[in-house]
Amino acid sequence: MEKPITHIINDKIFELLEQYSDGIRWVDLRKTLEKENPTFHPKTVNGLIWQLAEKYPDKVYKPEKGVFRLVKFR
């Protein structure tokens, strides 16, 4: 059974966050995701990014407004 698109996008988000130990601005994260996979719907990508800190508080936090960073880099 194939993974739901939201799981695929979230996996990619976490993969990208691993590459930015100082964090990444949401707009840059969104642009990178859309560039790497143009089939991702922009509204789905945007919604998943904005839910990151609330949905995965044990993994992601916002050190400042509009920036996402993995907790392990805190």
The residue extents of the domains of the chain are: 5-73
CATH class as words, domain 5-73: mainly alpha
In this prediction, residue 37 has a pLDDT band, given cuts at 50, 70 and 90, of: very high
| Burial (CB count within 10 angstroms: exposed 0-12, middle 13-18, buried 19+), residue 17 | buried
Q: What percent of the chain has pLDDT over 90?
A: 96
How confident is residue 1, by pLDDT bands cut at 50, 70 and 90?
A: confident
4-29 confidence digits (pLDDT tens): 999 999 999 999 999 999 999 999 99
Segment 37-55 mean pLDDT: 94
